[in-house]
Amino acid sequence: MTSERDIERVLDHWFAERPTQVADRVLDEVADRIGREPRRPAWLPWRVTHMLGNIKPLAAVAAVIVIAVVGFALLRPSSGSGVGTSPTTSPTASPTPSPKPTDTPRPAGMVVQQKPISFTVTLPQNWVNNGWFAAPSQGTEAPTGIAIGAPGAINVPSDPCDGVGKEPSAKSPADVVAALRSRTDLVVSNVIDTTLDGHTGKRVDIQAPADLSACTDLYVIMAEPGGAGFYVQGPSQKIRMWIVDVDGHPTVFQINSFAATPADDVAAAERIVASIAITP
């Protein structure tokens, strides 16, 4: 080997494709491991291009977009039987309701194991439907972000760094509020009785800490095994949360914002939540 040789040409040749085949046992092991591997909660799971790629033209001409989010647990995985037996859910899967003509298509292949619900809200023109949450153009993150959504989870881990969580034990909106109050890192205030589309429950204001460095990864508010839940998008995030009883199941809707979020957007978010129609 000499320096005269063209190193690029030599390396091209040396790296030339070799026939390689991964052993079946490697993928078998992967399949086994993912069956035991919890997933992160995801507040931003999909880009709009994924969820709405085929209805964007409609969205462009529509003054309003109707969101249909089917299922408590949009992000809960289908991991075979045994999942979805939490006290807040029906132990038997029910068929997903037929989509209404204005419904946003669910992502293909999504499996809803829990008793499904759907809700519809009316969005202002500059808000984008991301499937289970919606946000205006500035997005969800600090310092000016905002979003409305339904995380599909009610379990509040006692440890904010616990991105896995556990199956929920809360039986009522009051139980969820109690779990939030037990988190000393959160400021929980303005707990009031409320109704949302005729469903009774609690409304509560939450503020996340200004310093999120306690967690090296995600700073979690709600998390359940399988990925349902949400984590804060920035320091001092404000969360207005509605926890209402839908057929005996506590169900969470929320507005996430920050102190610097434009007041008009906060007001718009309040109107969006007020427009909600829940279909058990």
Partner 1 sequence: MDHDLVAAAIGGDQAAFMDLVRPRSNRLFAIALQILRDVDRAEDALQDALVIAWRDLPGLRDPERIDAWLRRLLINVCIKAAARERRRAGNLRVLPIDGPAAPDDMLSIADRDQLERGFRRLPPDMRAILVLHHFLGYSAKEIAETLGIPRGTARSRLFNAHRAMRAALEADARLTVVGGRSA
Footprint on this chain of partner 1 (rule: CB under 8 A): 1-3, 7-8, 10-23, 26-27, 29-31, 33-35, 37-42, 44-47, 49-50, 74-80, 107-111, 226-227
What length does the chain have? 280
Distance between CA atoms of residues 57 and 224, nearest Å: 35
Distance between CA atoms of residues 210 and 90, nearest Å: 38
- φ, ψ of residue 148 to 5 degrees: the values are -115, 150
Residue 22 C-beta: closest distance to partner 1, Å: 4
Give the 3-state secondary structure of residue 64: coil
Which of residues 116 and 201 has its CB atom nearest to partner 1 in the complex? 116
- φ, ψ of residue 127 to 5 degrees: the values are -95, 145
Residue 69 C-beta: closest distance to partner 1, Å: 13
Residue 173 C-beta: closest distance to partner 1, Å: 26
Residue 97 C-beta: closest distance to partner 1, Å: 17
Strand partners, 243: 202, 252
Residue 204's contacts (CB-CB under 8 Å, 6 or more residues apart) are 177, 180, 188, 189, 190, 191, 192, 240, 241, 243
Which of residues 38 and 235 has its CB atom nearest to partner 1 in the complex? 38
Token readout for 187 is: 């400021």
Which of residues 141 and 175 has its CB atom nearest to partner 1 in the complex? 141
Residue 101 C-beta: closest distance to partner 1, Å: 22
Which of residues 73 and 246 has its CB atom nearest to partner 1 in the complex? 73
Which of residues 109 and 198 has its CB atom nearest to partner 1 in the complex? 109
Token readout for 261 is: 């979020």
